Structure 1
Amino acid sequence: MMAAAGGCYLGVDLSTQQLKAIAIDDNLNVIHETSVKFDDDLPEFGTQDGAHVHSDKLTVTTPVLLWVKALDMLLERMKISNFDFSKLKSLSGTGQQHGSVYWKEGANQTLKNMPDDRSLHQILETSFAVKESPIWMDSSTTEECLQLEKSVGSPQNLADITGSRAYERFTGNQIAKINKKNPEDYKKTERISLVSSFVASLFLGDYAAIDYSDVQAWMVIMHLSLTGSVSPYYVKRFGFNSECKVIAFTGDNPASLAGMQLQQGDIAVSLGTSDTAFLWIQDPKPTLEGHIFCNPVDSNAYMALICFKNGSLTREKICDESASGSWDEFAKALKATCPGNNGNLGFYFDVMEITPAVVGIHRFNAKNCKVSKFPKEVEVRAVIEGQMLAKRAYAEKLGFKVCNWRTKHAKLAPYMEGEVNVLLRYVECSADVASHPQIELYLMTVDFS
């Protein structure tokens, strides 16, 4: 679809499994949407669910050039669909948090002088000191985490300073690991970007500043300025407006808080490859579970966040095993069982979890005895209730008072009927296991399929 006559704005999201873009006009009408799914559209990189899980089952990375080539493909698809880039007034976006990109010496000069007759991935093929970027799913930096916490006296001291204790996926620990285990690669690095500022850098043709809210997921406190206009490369190759401004990109979770227009007293639950529960707070009390970030909207407020690594992929696995891969059947099974699951409880950690730091499948019957399997209907409710109970438990640890409630309302994206039914049942499960009369529960972005 072509851009609106009055101008438009582009938003880009680099998530774990795909790169997405959405354009809106001056009246906030959506005028274009497109995406690139990494596994399907870029099979030459051999990713599964957008990542490489290494043999130790702890190291998880994504090839940097996959992300670069995905941007090539995204823009080409927009061009083929006759999107009018000349109407763009500004662009911004988000990226999966914690992931890091290591620019090789000389990369900035390459960015500043990109020839418009070549694709981005051809131009930047040799511009990265580390070919495989560590991402948020990585759990391989326990040693670095312990050293960091020891250096400041205790895990709680680190949380008081940065908003979080040391987590394996946090960028500072990933940098320390690379410096220790791959010192030659580290020496060749002239700049380190977060995923969000990496994409912004591609559009700028220069190293982009890091958003203040996203940088706390680095576990380094710093302040950098906003960015500038789009690189001449995009003006010549795609017809961008030379005055199109590149606004600093942020992390996906801060962007979600801003996009949902949360206020103090609101909670949002994001169901994706990882699940997150986040909320707006004024008086942060850092603990050893969860995180405190700068609020992306109000510089005088904060954002609390709890992240769970085993999210949509775990639900999808149970759907495949217990509902033949049908979300309609999954929803029926969920509806057929009662809240509380007759005392059956399950914890499903297919990969090393963040909160808590455990791995494995753990099922318990009503007598609190561990069992090896559940009936299919019980399994379906067990995974949903187990995930929601975890969100409640860790929210309470952060100081939230939880009592009996029902969901005030839920905002749902336009998904297929079967998936919506699952979402509605998820809302009801949420209401059964956790809430507060003054808290609104929003279900926002969902990645069931």
Structure 2
Amino acid sequence: MSIAGQQHGMVVLDEAGEVIRPALLWNDTRSATDATALVDELGGPEAWASAVGSVPVAAFTVSKVRWLARNEPEHARRVASLMLPHDYLTWLLAGRPESAVTDRGEASGTGYWSPADGAYREDLVRLALGHVPRLPRVAGPSEAIGETSSGIVLGPGTGDNMGAALALDVSPGDVVVSLGTSGTAFAGSSRPTSDATGIVAGFADATGNYLPLVCTLNAARVLTSTAALLGVDFDGLAALALAAAPGSGGLTLLPYFDGERTPNLPDARGSLHGITRDNLTPPNMARAAIEGMFGGLADAVDALVGVGVAPRRILLVGGAAANPAVGAVAATLFDVPVEVPPPGEYVADGAARQAAWVLAGGLVLPSWSGLRDGATRRYESAPVPSIREAYAAARSALHG
């Protein structure tokens, strides 16, 4: 059994192994100022990128740790063990052993573990918290790390994006754009990456390689909110969007409904640009929502190219990918073909594949095919440059 879960969250335990306070999850942006302070204190973005391959933002665990130290110092002083949510669940299943275990993928999202060096940077934990608590041991990708009370063998688990990459058998040239609560764009890499701009997070994957990734806070929820506004369901939203021309008649949505991570605008809010009496129609609104969701994700793919990724196709996964308009709209924003695999819980499938690898043993990942019934939908690239140009102009005008 293996667990794959959301990255970055913070679970803190005391000396008795009891939870000190409710977990802080990745999408809690209260730690934005703490991330900024940590970046400055180490010497700037370049110093962080060199140390751990990533520049902390509000989502990273290290930023949550600093938030705890600043806002709840009495809790911070009691922290004896520091874990991520999936680490905590694995630890419970294993019978609360003395040492918790994590994997390279999850460790790389903390902001205090270096994928390039394969080691914790305890100085960064101390910088954030004031002391260094017990940290989970980082297990190998196919390592059995313990058993449940009923004898079920446990794998190390991994982060949600790493799990999806494992299930999809991502190889060089594959760029996955995941449309869940958040949006992510990530690609397989045989070498660690480092981006001092902070746009690309230099994560590790669940196989022993690397997974450069860009995350946006707003993805599927943009579509559900727009559908609710228009009084339609998901199929109705798709029909409306497909009835509008590319570019949505000049409407441009910046969908920063919950702040944004890429670009790093935690206090931003959504905005609609280019409104006229003629273009403010339900079809244009529906299409502008999908185009806006992809505006930041297309920029994310460009950022991956900037760290050496050479895309040959885009794989769309996640709940929103099932919408029939999403693939068609995506093809107008990306320069390579877009493929939509059959719907599925790819994060859970990745955890299952890891568990199978642990049981099989060995250093070579077992073959994995026939995961899902159904056909993969393919959309040939048909970019409309004016869509991205309008998105960039609106963002620049409002946020600089």
TM-score normalized by the length of structure 2: 0.71
Q: 2:205 aligns with which of 295, 300, 304?
A: 295
- Alignment partner of 1:327 is 2:234: yes
- Alignment partner of 1:140 is 2:35: no
Q: 1:397 aligns with which of 303, 313, 319?
A: 303
- Alignment partner of 1:224 is 2:135: no
Instruction: Please state how far the C-alpha of 1:228 moved relative to its aligned partner.
Output: 3.5
Amino acid at match of 2:44: S
Residues 102 and 179 of structure 1: is their aligned pair in 2 closer, same or farther, counting only changes over 3 Å? same
1:373-392 counterparts in 2 under 5 A? 374-392=280-298
Residues 218 and 99 of structure 1: is their aligned pair in 2 closer, same or farther, counting only changes over 3 Å? same
Question: Per the alignment, in what secondary structure is the counterpart of residue 272 of structure 2?
Answer: strand
Separation (CA, whole Å) in 2 of partners of 1:174 and 1:204: 26
- Alignment partner of 1:425 is 2:325: yes
- Aligned residues of 1:102 and 1:189 also touching (Cα < 8 A): yes
Tell me the residue number matched to 2:184: 276
Separation (CA, whole Å) in 2 of partners of 1:205 and 1:331: 47
Amino acid at match of 2:270: I
C-alpha distance after superposition, 1:191-241 (max 9, x if no partner) = 111011111011101243111111111001136235533343xx3xxxxxx
Query: Who wins on radius of gyration, i.e. which is larger?
Result: 1
Tell me the residue number matched to 2:175: 267
C-alpha distance after superposition, 1:380-415 (max 9, x if no partner) = 1111111112111232134359xxx9x9686778x8
Q: 1:214 aligns with which of 106, 131, 134?
A: 106
1:139-218 counterparts in 2 under 5 A? 139-206=29-96, 207-218=99-110
- Alignment partner of 1:103 is 2:13: yes
Instruction: Please state how far the C-alpha of 1:442 moved relative to its aligned partner.
Output: 5.5
Separation (CA, whole Å) in 2 of partners of 1:129 and 1:211: 23
Separation (CA, whole Å) in 2 of partners of 1:194 and 1:256: 18
Amino acid at match of 2:51: I
Question: Per the alignment, in what secondary structure is the counterpart of residue 143 of structure 1?
Answer: helix
Question: Per the alignment, in what secondary structure is the counterpart of residue 293 of structure 1?
Answer: strand
Separation (CA, whole Å) in 2 of partners of 1:180 and 1:285: 28
Separation (CA, whole Å) in 1 of partners of 2:314 and 2:269: 34
Separation (CA, whole Å) in 2 of partners of 1:408 and 1:95: 26
Consecutive unaligned residues in structure 2, runs of 5 or more? 114-119, 121-136, 347-400
Separation (CA, whole Å) in 2 of partners of 1:170 and 1:217: 6
Q: 2:155 aligns with which of 247, 250, 265?
A: 247
Instruction: Please state how far the C-alpha of 1:336 moved relative to its aligned partner.
Output: 0.4
Over 4 Å off, 4+ runs: 407-413, 439-447
Question: Per the alignment, in what secondary structure is the counterpart of residue 213 of structure 1?
Answer: helix
Instruction: Please state how far the C-alpha of 1:347 moved relative to its aligned partner.
Output: 0.9
Question: Per the alignment, in what secondary structure is the counterpart of residue 92 of structure 1?
Answer: coil
Separation (CA, whole Å) in 2 of partners of 1:412 and 1:285: 25
Separation (CA, whole Å) in 2 of partners of 1:280 and 1:96: 19
Tell me the residue number matched to 2:263: 356
- Aligned residues of 2:6 and 2:159 also touching (Cα < 8 A): yes
Separation (CA, whole Å) in 1 of partners of 2:317 and 2:148: 36
Separation (CA, whole Å) in 1 of partners of 2:237 and 2:331: 19
Amino acid at match of 2:262: T
- Aligned residues of 2:235 and 2:323 also touching (Cα < 8 A): no
Tell me the residue number matched to 1:128: 19
- Aligned residues of 2:175 and 2:315 also touching (Cα < 8 A): no
Separation (CA, whole Å) in 2 of partners of 1:194 and 1:288: 22
- Aligned residues of 1:134 and 1:174 also touching (Cα < 8 A): yes
- Aligned residues of 1:209 and 1:227 also touching (Cα < 8 A): no
Separation (CA, whole Å) in 2 of partners of 1:443 and 1:253: 17
- Alignment partner of 1:310 is 2:202: no
Amino acid at match of 1:200: T
Residues 434 and 411 of structure 1: is their aligned pair in 2 closer, same or farther, counting only changes over 3 Å? closer
Please provide the CA RMSD for this pair. Answer: 3.0
Task: Using CA pairs under 8 Å that are at least 6 residues apart, name the structure with larger relative contact order, 1 or 2.
Answer: 2
Question: Per the alignment, in what secondary structure is the counterpart of residue 352 of structure 1?
Answer: coil
- Aligned residues of 2:178 and 2:316 also touching (Cα < 8 A): no
Q: 1:346 aligns with which of 249, 253, 265?
A: 253
